Amino acid sequence: MKGIILHGGHGTRLRPLTHTGPKQLLPIANKPMSEYCLDSLKNAGITDITIVVGGVGSNKVKEYYGDGKNFGVKLSYITQDSPKGIAHAVRLCKDFVGSEKFVVFLGDNIIQKSIDEYANNFIGSDDDAAILLCKVDNPSQFGIAEIEDDKIIKLTEKPKNPPSNLAITGIYFLTPLIFDLIDKLKPSWRNELEIVDALQMLLDINHKVRYYMITDFWKDTGTPEDILQANTTILENMQPYFHGTKEDNTTIEGRVMIGEGTIIKKGCKIIGPTIIGKNCIIANGAYIDSNSSIGDNSNLSHCNVKSSIIMSNCEINCDTKIKNSIIASNSHISMKSSDHDEKVFLLGEGTKITL
């Protein structure tokens, strides 16, 4: 079985974070979200993988993953010249897939459960497709499945009046048969070729489309709030470690992960679940509270950070409270005077702010 990770799209709902790179490289618990997809495929024994890239910063994807050797997989790349839909991106992979069954993973989907069982079941079955469903509170934002007598009877992309709350997650198990159906598709109202429409065509001609329910965590990380929620969930399930150094009179409590070369200086307080990357300096009484991720080579002092993502190479020196924020790499925040009011930031790469 081969694997496909879709790494395109504009990420408009995540701007300014996506002005300089693809949303799938935004870190969750200090690891790009698409790397969780790659890990899921690898752990299911799927190591021949292509990544479909397109949009801003495609080169960054290739620079990060390379040929896949450092990640224990074999990677190739296919370029989608414009966002014409998931089905269009899948169709570009026809030569890569050949005659094998394959799985498509949207690069901004985070799932906690292993896909091993689903992959093995699909390989050993005569199913023409299999999809993963998850109950959601906002079904009109997703492709939706309608089920009767434990069978899928209809699939609809983002219906105005959803017949159920069963969202189609961004993980699809497919056979090469899907390519013939994609060739018959017409663009939707979004001017895209919808994979949901191709799957519905499979149903219409009485082919087997199986479904599985995800009952634990799944997140389509399309908004800052989604990313922060996924960050919290991932942190809660990590095993604590401490590879840095700490001075006397520091407080470290709960599930905390500290990288090599990081120094926690006197008077600082770290409350888990929290991850701090490599070669960071936490100083001058900084308080890093729960559900926070601090990227490599970042220096934080004086500040109070909670439920936030601060990416690599950031410098924050301000006596203020930062909460529910996402601060992209190479950002600098400083303060000329004390301000104890709570701040919420959504900052793109290289932002400089003086308060």
pLDDT in tens, 195-224: 999 999 999 998 999 999 987 788 778 789
Which of 142-146, 308-312, 350-354 tops mean pLDDT? 308-312
Averaged over 264-277, what is the pLDDT?
96
CATH no. for residue 147? 3.90.550.10
- Going by pLDDT thresholds of 50, 70 and 90, the confidence category of residue 96 is very high
Averaged over 70-90, what is the pLDDT?
92
Question: Do 210 and 248 belong together in one domain?
Answer: no
Question: Do 260 and 298 belong together in one domain?
Answer: yes
Question: Do 254 and 331 belong together in one domain?
Answer: yes
Question: Do 202 and 275 belong together in one domain?
Answer: no
Higher pLDDT, 41 or 14: 41
Select from 201, 230, 259 the last residue of a domain. Answer: 230
Cβ count near 113 (within 10 Å): 15
Which structural domain, as residue segments, surrounds residue 177? 2-230
Averaged over 109-119, what is the pLDDT?
88
Q: Is the pLDDT at 342 greater than 70, yes or no?
A: yes
Q: Is the pLDDT at 83 greater than 90, yes or no?
A: no
Higher pLDDT, 354 or 325: 325
Question: Do 218 and 242 belong together in one domain?
Answer: no
What's the rounded Cα separation, in Å, for the pair 83 and 4? 16
Question: Do 242 and 226 belong together in one domain?
Answer: no
Mean pLDDT of the chain: 91
> Sign of dihedral through CA atoms 233, 234, 240, 245?
negative
Q: Are 235 and 29 in contact (CB under 8 A)?
A: yes
| Two structure tokens written together for 48 | 């021949």
Number of domains comprising the chain = 2
Burial class (CB in 10 A: 0-12, 13-18, 19+), 354: exposed
pLDDT tens by residue, 21-44? 788 899 999 999 999 999 999 999
pLDDT tens by residue, 121-174? 999 999 999 999 999 888 888 889 999 988 999 998 888 888 899 999 989 999
Q: Are 155 and 86 in contact (CB under 8 A)?
A: no
Cα-based angle 273, 278, 283 (whole degrees, multiple of 5): 75
Question: Do 217 and 284 belong together in one domain?
Answer: no
